[in-house]
Structures are given as C-alpha cells and as structure tokens.
Structure 1
Amino acid sequence: MTEQTTLEQPRAWSLPRSPRDYVLGHVRAVLPNRILDDARIVVRDGRIVEVGESRVGTRADVDGGGLFCLPGLVDVHSDGLERERLPRPGAELPWMFSMMSFEGKLRAAGVTTVFHGASFSDRQAAKDGRSVDSALAMCQAVADWNERQADGRLVDHRVLHRLDVRSGLGLAALQQHLEAMVASGEIGAERPAVISHEDHTPGIGQYADRTFYERYVAGMSGISQEEARDRVDVLLAERESNLPVREESMNWLAGQSATGRVRIFGHDPESAAEIADLARRGGDVAEFPTTVEAAKEARARGMSVVMGGPNILRGGSHSGNVSGRELAGLGLVTALASDYLPSSLLGAVFTLAAGTMSLPEAASLVTSGPATAVGLSDRGALEPGQRADLVLVGLDHDCPVVRSVLRAH
C-alpha cells in the first residue's frame, strides 16, 4: 500500500504590525510649516497625541537615529497595480500575487494609503489590457485583499474609479458597481467614492498632439508608426460618434457629486473653460492639468491640483504638456500622485525641496495635500489627533530612502 502525503491547510497568520502605544524619539519631524530637529512623537491607541522636542533623561521606545519623519504618504492615483499584474502584454499574473508584490513596492516608497486606478473603459487601440472586466476584477481584488489583511493591514488600499466618458460599457458598469457599493454601505458621505472622469481621445487633453498618442500605441502594441496612425484614425472616428455618451456620463457624474457620496476628479483639463465646466458639475480636483491656464483656474476656484511625481522628477511631461515643476514653482500644485511609479513621490519631494520650495511645503504635496483631495481628514500631518502613519526617511547619494514604516491599525 502506497503511503499518501496530505497537505494541511496553512494556518491563519497576521502580518507584523506597529504597536498601538509607543514613543518615537530623535527624529527630524517634518511638520506642516517647519522641521523640528531631535523631535519626540508620542503615539497612543494608534493616534498621535504629542509632537515636541526630545526630553533630556527620557527614553524612547523607538530611536529614529536622526532620520526624517514624515506622515505616511497618500497616493491618490496609482496605475502600478495594473502594471504589476500585466508586466508584459499577455503575461497576466494572479491578482492576489500582484497585490502582495505591489504592496511591497508601496511600503518601500513610504505609501500608507493608496488609490488604485481601475479603468472603466472599453478602448482597445492601445492594447493596454484596460477593460470593464479588468476594472471590476481589480475592485474585487482590492476588496478581497483588504478582507484577508483586516487584522494587520500594512497599507490602506482603496480604488480610484477611472471613467472613460465616451465608453457606454464603462458608464453602465460603473453605475451598477456604484449602486452595489451604496447598497452595501461601502460608500457614503463619510467615506465617498472617488471617480476620475477622463477623455483620452487623441487631439485633446493629455494627447492634444496626437503624435504622442500614436507613439504610445506603437510602443504598447509593438507595431509600426504607420500602423499606429491607422489605428488612431479608427479610434478617432469611433470616439467622435460617442459624444452623446460623454454628455450622459458628465450629467450622471454631476448627479452623483450632488449626493455627497462621490468626489469628482477632472482628468487632464486643458483650459479655464474645462475647469469652469468641472466646477459646475461639482468637481473637486483638477488631476494632471495640461496647461498653466487650467491649473490657475482650478486654484482660483479652490480646487485641489494634482500633478504626477514622474513629471516632477523628469522636469517635464512625457506627452509634451506643462511641466509639474513649473506649476509647483508658481504655487499651483497642492498634491502629487505616483501615476505609475510609487518611488517617484519621495523623489519628487526632495527634488522640489532642492530649490523650488521648502521641505515641509514639498512634503505636504504627498501627505496632507492628497489627503485633502480625497476627503481624508484623519491623516497627512504630524499633529495630535492624526493617525500615526509614520515614515522614516534617510538620504543616500542625495536620494531619499525609506528606512521604516509605522502604520496605525
């Protein structure tokens, strides 16, 4: 008789977590308006209760060794999970593995709250894997991951619902998905959903110069420039016929904003007129404005203005639009998002702090600024009452390196 080996189900386990009560000492605390050298931060029940100078004769539970201490980074627009799951065209990885793998990159970047971009779209010209099915699968993967990690979540994972306003399938799917979230109590006035509406029709917005989009299609699909040009011609014809869908999408978004259950981002606005239209429909945030004009109008109306970390690092837009550094220098940026590269957030902070603005001002662009954009008032600053999401950062060859992350539970 052959002996059979049975595999036992793995036992439930929890990830290591930060203590709920501790004292962090000897750090350079990056406060909203200054840097406090040799600071002491007292945490009780997962909240900051005191931030002040270290006291002679007292002992800290954690010695920060002179590292910078920042609030945990808040990333309001990340497409990294999408890329983690599909590192090459056609090479799809399991969702749970992708979540686990990408969470490690977020932690290494100091991100403690992230909004994953789920694209409710049916555009196929770029062959980038975006579809209604993929968007819904991502939303479910985030929900499943959060449920599995409920007792020891290292990162607060949320969803940025990206709506292609010319996609009838995308609109219908998002409407149904949002209704289910409302019915389950998952979203409401205290925890609004975040929706970014976008129109990636070549010739407007991010791809005002369609040649940049043709290069993107050619690179993503591995085809010639001539073939990419033909695909974009077809895409343009299809999208021009979808103007009624766009109007339906925008009217629905305005209605949702009025309920208080949804915060609306306008993606790639290029003019003051677009910002005015966004405001009329209850929009809260200008996301990646492509011109100085759009950014100025957004700030004049009290909107948050989000730019991309990679744009700051490069010193310019990859698609020929306005430079994030230029907008930051004009005081028009209130938040940065990683877009596709989590490590770009801290890199952008220290790049801006090298001459454009002070370190506290730059740090606010990845902490309190994005928290405000998505309506989270409990995080983003080293102040009493805030969540004790803390990141310790050192410099290596003038580049920021995350040494430790302490996240409240």
Structure 2
Amino acid sequence: MTQEMILANATLVLPEETVTGSIVVRDGQIADIAQGTSVPNGAEDCEGDFVAPGLVELHTDNLERHMKPRPKVDWPHQAAIVAHDAELASVGITTVFDALRVGSILSDERRNYGKYARSVADEILSMRDSGGLRISHHLHLRAETCSETLVEELAEFGPDDRVGIVSLMDHTPGQRQFTDISKFEAYVRGKYAMDAEGFGEYVQFLYGLHDRFGKAHEEATVAAAQRFGAVLASHDDTTAGQVATSAGYGIHLAEFPTTVEAAQANHAHGIANIMGGPNLVRGGSHSGNVAAMELAQRGLLDIISSDYVPSSLLLGAVMLGNEWGNMAKGLHTVTAAPAKYTNLEDRGRLQVGLQADLIRFRLTEGVPALRSAWHKGQRSA
C-alpha cells in the first residue's frame, strides 16, 4: 500500500534558499515539492514552520556518555544505544556516524582504558539491521595514535563493517588540541583526581608512547581506512605543516582545526573544515583554540558536528544562518555538506527522489524548537 504524507504551508529549506511551499512524501521518498501557501485536504499545515532535511552528524561522543554515565559506572550497551538513538532523533538528527575509540592504554594504572569498539560496533550493527533504531547509524572509528593497541584493534574491522569514517587522532599533550599544556593539566587532573606529580609522570608516559608508536600508528590508520573504503579525517590540525601531512594521506575532512592557519591551509588543499557546535554556541573553545564563529566569519567553516552536545547541531546551524543572513546556507553545514563529504548522495537535500529524512522546527525567541522529524518518511520524533 502506498504511504503518502504532505507537509504544507511550510518554510522549505532548499539547498540555496528558503521558500514557502509544500513537500509530498511517498513511500519513504520525496515525491514532489511545490511553492505556495495552500493546504490540500489531508495535508499537515506547518503554519510557516521550517521544514528542512534531517541533520547529518559526523562526530559525536554521545554514545560513550550513555555507556558510562558516571565514572566507574558501565551501563548495559543495548540500553545505552537505544537511549542515544532516541536522544539524537529528538534533536532532529536522522543520520549519525557513531564515534568509537580504537586504541587503548593497558599498562598505566593511572589511566587504563580498555578496548570496546568491536563489541559495541557489533551491537550497533545488529540493532540497526533488526530495525530497532529510529535513525540511520554508521560507524566512525576514532584512531588514537597515542595508545598501545591501535593496530590490533583496527585489525578487528574489515570492509564488511562498512565503516564510514576513520579519524586520525593524536592527543599527545603540548600540541594540537592541547598546545597549551595547562589546559590539558586542568582537564586530566580534574577528571582523574591526579596530583601534580602524578600528572607530570603521566605526561612523560604519553610522550614515550608517541615516540614509540606515533608514526607506525599513523601509517596503520591510513592503510586501514583504505582497506575499509572509509573517508579519512584529520583531528585538531594546528599548523600548515600538519595539514600538508593530512593532505598527503588523502584526507578530505578536518575535524576541529585549532587555528586560522590550519583552517586556511585545509581550504587550500580542498579539505573541509568541521567545527564543534558547542564551540559555536558557547562562543569559543573550551581548550582555548580558535572560535568556530571566527572561522565562519572568515568563510572557513564548512560543517558543524555536535561533538558532545547533540542539541548544538541544529542550534549552531541556525546561529550560522542568522550570522550569514541566509538560513539555507546555515542549514547546509548540517545537512548537504556532511552528506556530500561522506558520499551519502541519497539525503541531505530537499529534492525529488531523495530519501525523506525531514525535520520541522520553529524559532522560539531565536532558539530552534523541533516539532517533528521523519526518517525515510517514518516519524522518528
């Protein structure tokens, strides 16, 4: 039986402009788009609300927060995945690349963290394939080069897993995200109740890991991404030299560049800049790095990621729409752009023939309030 839905009298967020009109969804696809304020019989009157493509999230640590809601508390994984899925749906995300860390530290008692990516990936894929989730889930492997077990953990994945993104991460203190080592000290000592002496010893331990494994782990990560057929991303690039290395690896996405210099170098190499929604909403980086809005004002921001606050994705896009005086351009950073750079050609735009991943929202005192969301034409929120 044909299933049809009409959203009428809406402010449609098209790829380059917003227009008042209606959209017809039939059997999970966008079947027609028309301009005008008429509301046909049986249509849902959107009363001028925005109707936009569903949001595409490329890098979120939100699942890890559900699996470990407090230090030393492990929540059942299936329940955590369901809660994570529902939270993302509730803020308009219809496609997510779930970020899972690969690379563990097992020998340092002050901050041991073991592997989990393979088992959690299996659970996500099983729940996805059984139809138990509201939105579309894909895998994003965060490859920690400053670790002990990265090569072994990458080897547990293969082309059949359809890994979408592999990000090359180096959290060695004193560079990239933590160029200001005092920011790293405040973060680590606060999170792990570590004294000054213990922190100094821990930093030396990390330097040793970087010296022993850094280059080999980078090469293994690049090779793994090629083997998976995944998009390769860099993380926290700070200098033009680091960007040149990224470009040499064939990287097309740059997660959270920390300086204007790095963001400019990315564009010179044809690499898209991803910035965090929390950075945009808060007006700056919690690590003291470049503000996302500064890059937006310089024409250097391409994609927003919600990072650790899912609701920041839609809010950040609306903030950019207001800053640029073009709501379609703002929403582009969370819909068409992330879909394009991850080769998802069937979504991210309001266009006839594409998958009907849609959201309806209105602005309440400047803040977007989600009214409804649909994934493949089925209501997800």
TM-score (norm: length of structure 1)? 0.86
Q: For 1:377 and 1:336, locate their aligned partners in 2 and report how far apart those are by CA, in whole Å.
A: 18
Residue 32 in 1 paired to residue 12 in 2? no
Q: 1:189-208 to 2 correspondence within 5 Å? A: 193-208=164-179
- The CA deviation at 1:358 is 1.6
Match of 1:165 in 2: 145
Q: Deviations over 1:176-195 (max 9, x none)?
A: 323xxx2xx343xxxx6310
Change (3 A) 1:227 1:352: farther
Secondary structure of the residue aligned to 1:385 is: coil
SS in 1 for 2:322: coil
Letter in 2 for 1:158: H
- Equivalent residue number for residue 186 of structure 2: 215
Where does the alignment leave 5 or more consecutive residues of structure 1 unmatched?
A: 1-18
| Distance change >3 Å, CA 270–CA 96, structure 1 → 2 | same
Q: By how many angstroms is 1:122 displaced?
A: 1.5
1:177-192, aligned counterparts within 5 Å? Answer: 177-178=157-158, 182=159, 185-187=160-162
Q: 1:312 to 1:201 in 2, by over 3 A?
A: same
- Equivalent of 1:229 in 191, 199, 218: 199
- Judged with a 3 Å threshold, the aligned counterparts in structure 2 of structure 1 residues 258 and 236 are, in CA distance, closer, same or farther, namely closer
- Any conservation in 2 of the 1:119–1:130 contact (CA below 8 Å)? no
8 A contact 1:393–1:400 mirrored in 2: yes
User: 2:228, 2:355 → 1: CA distance?
Assistant: 24
Query: 2:317 corresponds to which residue?
Result: 349
Indicate yes or no: 2:80 matched with 1:98: yes
Q: Which runs of 5+ in 2 are unaligned?
A: none
Q: CA deviation at 1:362?
A: 0.8
- What one-letter code is carried by the residue in structure 2 that aligns with 1:199? D
Identity in percent: 31
CA separation of 1:83 and 1:130: change in aligned 2, threshold 3 A: farther
SS where residue 341 of structure 1 aligns?
A: coil
Paired position in structure 1 for 2:33: 51
d(CA) in 2 for partners of 1:198, 1:130: 16
- How far did 1:335 drift? 0.6
Q: 1:41 aligns with which of 17, 20, 23?
A: 23
Superposed CA deviations along residues 135-188 of structure 1, whole A, max 9, x for unmatched, are 2232122112213326xx42111121000123341222112323xxx2xx343x
Q: Do the aligned partners of 2:145 and 2:210 also contact (CA within 8 Å) in 1? A: no
Matched, 1:284 2:252: yes
Cα gap change, 1:339 to 1:278, in 2 (>3 Å): same
Instruction: Indicate how the Cα distance of structure 1 residues 259 and 139 shifts in structure 2: closer, same or farther if over 3 A, else same.
Output: closer
What is the correspondence of 1:282-321 to structure 2 with a 5 Å cutoff? 282-321=250-289
SS at match of 2:149: helix
Provide closer, same or farther for how the CA distance between residues 384 and 195 of structure 1 changes in structure 2, counting only shifts above 3 A. Answer: same
**Alignment size in residue pairs:** 375
Report the secondary structure of 1:176's partner residue. Answer: coil
Q: Which residue type is aligned with residue 111 of structure 1? A: I
TM-score by length of 2: 0.92
Q: Amino acid of the residue matched to residue 58 of structure 1? A: P
2:296 is the alignment partner of 1:328: yes
Distance 1:290 1:94, change over 3 A: same
TM-aligned CA deviation for residue 343 of structure 1: 0.1
- Displacement of 1:281 in angstroms is 1.1
After superposition, the CA RMSD in angstroms is 2.2
Task: Choose 318-327 or 248-257, whichever is displaced more.
Answer: 248-257
CA distance in 2, matches of 1:237, 1:186: 33
Conserved 8 A contact 2:143-2:221: no
